[in-house]
Amino acid sequence: MSDAAFDWMAAANKKAKGKRPEYFDTPQDERMLSILMAVVGEVSVLRERMDTVERLLDAKGTISRDDIESYVPDKDAAYERGVMIREYIYRVMRGPHQMVEELKQAEPPVEEVSRELKEI
Amino acid sequence: MSSDNKLDVAPPYTAVARHGVSPVPSHDEVARFDFLANFNKFLSGALGPGNKLAYDSRVLPKFKKEQGREPKDRFEIRHAMNADPFHQFWSALKRNSMEMRQQNGRAIVLRQIEELNAKARQYNEGRDTLELDPEITIPRYQSAVDIHCMPGSYHGEEYPGDISTGANYDSGLFATTAGGLGALSDGGGQALVEWIKKTRPGWQPRRVLDIGCTIGHNIVPLALAFPECEIIAIDTAAPVLRYAHARAQSLGATNIRFVQANAEDLSRWEDGSFDWVQTTMFLHETSGKALPKILSEGYRVLADDGLMLHLEQPEYHDGMPLFEQFLRDWDAFNNNEPFWSSMHALDMKEEMVAAGFDRGELFETGVRAVVDREIFPEAPTGEDEDHGRAAYWHAYGAWKNSNVVQEAAE
């Protein structure tokens, strides 16, 4: 090993060999989504950490960083946290999720409804 | 709240069992995998059905209007669907989820790579059950792209001799399958054990060959179920073998010899020297030329009345709707699985016959992951199946010369 510290943070970001598929019209859009999804993930991480702190404070009154790092939820807490993450995902994914509803039922544009309402 | 009206949430990553070379995750690293496990459930469960809706309501009608006919194969559906805004967004989210899983897993492992390498050395050094061969070259079907978008694929190293690739693969299986493979991600291996005990009660194979074993997660349950059996597990990639060996040893599976070898050439093993030759989700990671060679070599080293068994996804038979074939193909084009699409279009029965089996010896069956249902979810199938990764496999098998052996016995 060389004298320089191994930069594991840079190494963790390594790209997989193989051309990345393009989903949107511009490469910028691909990258904006990858940044946004990373942030979406990190907000979930913060919420889970906060939940750990709250649960430990409830149980112990005072806590250390070690308490947080070594916290293991019991079965009930694990389920409640799963529900918390799920609720969060449903909230941030509202737009894409509503696309599914739109596909189930085609609705006329509001302009059209507006014209119709003038007549009734 | 009673157990039967619970929402479908993934188990926490803290429920995953640890072994001797498990990376130790920090609180926030656990939380990253907790997010991804639940996000993958959302993508397949809540969002996934939008693909069929988009197809039925606009992609197929547009195709028929433009072409004046139905799509003739899954590739035409893919090209049409790739232009649909819903499918584009769903695919982009799914691809990001895969990339995040790799980044998150690598960050956990690489942060502690020196400790992990040291742990592995304690299990590996001086043991004759790990046999590496620097002469083995990585075949093009493993090196052309990084399979599963896994940087470095199965053979990459950050330091010479490290195990980061194996540790990353092992830890991330939880996030990708949302816990569907159980506490040690070995639901496939446990399924094999359950299947053989039911199919041939009391059978004691003396020697088993596991081809393309990667981190050995699917062969350890078999080794523990048949402690008297000698198991040879081979792979072309040294980093996963180092990890697999240490992992198996720490779990008490000391009857597996991990050998670096390419299954296209099994010449070091004699004809008929194994009672069982098997692969688990491996053949789709080979190539059109390698697959028949592997089957043929496997046939040669298999003893009479021995079992060949391959766990795979179901093939794209004529009865499978083209839309389902297209969805099952997603990983081929979006998750760096270059042989996936062609392999699942093969007729495995024909391939097995070409390898030497008699048609009458062949069988097909289904094998479902066996995991602790108290903690880990039931494997999704049907509507919610996460095509390509659901914990339910199709098994292609044969008992070599079983008819001849039976007649001789009578």
A106 and B57 within 8 Å at the Cβ level: the answer is: yes
Q: How far apart are CA B123 and CA B271, in angstroms?
A: 32
Looking at the complex, report in whole angstroms how far the Cα of residue B90 sits from the nearest Cα belonging to chain A: 8
Q: Write the CA distances from A10 to A13, A14, A15, B103, B105, integer angstroms.
A: 5, 7, 10, 10, 13
Contacts of A89 in chain B (CB under 8 A): 35, 38-39, 42
pTM of this prediction? 0.94
Residue B274 tokens read as: 């194994």
* Cα atoms in the 13 Å half-sphere on the side-chain side of B255: 18
Place of tokens 């430990």: A56
Angle among Cα B162, B117, B141 to the nearest 5 degrees reads 25
Residue B319 in contact with residue B287, Cβ under 8 Å?
A: no
Closest-CA residue of A relative to B89 is: A23
Q: How far apart are CA B345 and CA B42, in angstroms?
A: 29
Looking at the complex, report in whole angstroms how far the Cα of residue A120 sits from the nearest Cα belonging to chain B: 30
Residue B163 in contact with residue B120, Cβ under 8 Å?
A: yes
Amino acid making up residue B120:
A
Please tell me whether residue B278 adopts helix, strand or coil conformation. strand
A49 and B93 within 8 Å at the Cβ level: the answer is: no
- Interface check for B334 against chain A (CB to CB < 8 A): the answer is yes
B49 and A100 within 8 Å at the Cβ level: the answer is: yes
Looking at the complex, report in whole angstroms how far the Cα of residue B88 sits from the nearest Cα belonging to chain A: 5
From first to last of its 410 residues, chain B has per-residue pLDDT tens of 445 688 999 999 999 999 999 999 999 999 999 999 999 999 999 999 999 999 999 999 999 999 999 999 999 999 999 999 999 999 999 999 999 999 999 999 999 999 999 999 999 999 999 999 999 999 999 999 999 999 999 999 998 999 999 999 999 999 999 988 899 999 999 999 999 999 999 999 999 999 999 999 999 999 999 999 999 999 999 999 999 999 999 999 999 999 999 999 999 999 999 999 999 999 999 999 999 999 999 999 999 999 999 999 889 999 999 999 999 999 999 999 999 999 999 999 999 999 999 999 999 998 888 877 777 776 555 545 565 555 678 999 999 998 888 888 88
Q: For residue B31, give the nearest of A23, A38, A44 by CB distance.
A: A44
Looking at the complex, report in whole angstroms how far the Cα of residue A87 sits from the nearest Cα belonging to chain B: 10
Q: What are phi and psi of B198, to 5 degrees?
A: -80, -40
Q: For residue A34, give the nearest of B32, B38, B96 by CB distance.
A: B96
Per DSSP, helices labelled H in B206-359 are 220-225, 238-250, 290-301, 322-328, 330-334, 340-344, 348-355
Contacts of B28 in chain A (CB under 8 A): 45, 48-49
Q: How far apart are CA B293 and CA B344, in angstroms?
A: 17
Q: How far apart are CA B53 and CA B56, in angstroms?
A: 5
Longest dimension (CA), chain B: 68
Q: What are phi and psi of B362, to 5 degrees?
A: -80, 150
Contacts of B47 in chain A (CB under 8 A): 93, 96-97, 100
Helices B85-111 + A27-60 axis angle, to 10: 60
A100 and B47 within 8 Å at the Cβ level: the answer is: yes
Q: Write the CA distances from B321 to B54, B65, B150, B328, integer angstroms.
A: 16, 21, 30, 11
Place of tokens 């995902």: A89
Contacts of B53 in chain A (CB under 8 A): 100, 103-104
DSSP state of B202: T
B310 forms bridges with which residues in the sheet?
B279, B396
ipTM entry: 0.91
* Cα atoms in the 13 Å half-sphere on the side-chain side of B248: 33
Residue B256 tokens read as: 């597996």
Query: What is the number of other CB atoms lying within 10 angstroms of the CB of residue A37?
Result: 19
Looking at the complex, report in whole angstroms how far the Cα of residue A116 sits from the nearest Cα belonging to chain B: 25
Q: For residue B149, give the nearest of A16, A37, A83 by CB distance.
A: A16
A23 and B88 within 8 Å at the Cβ level: the answer is: yes
Amino acid making up residue B140:
R
Longest dimension (CA), chain A: 81
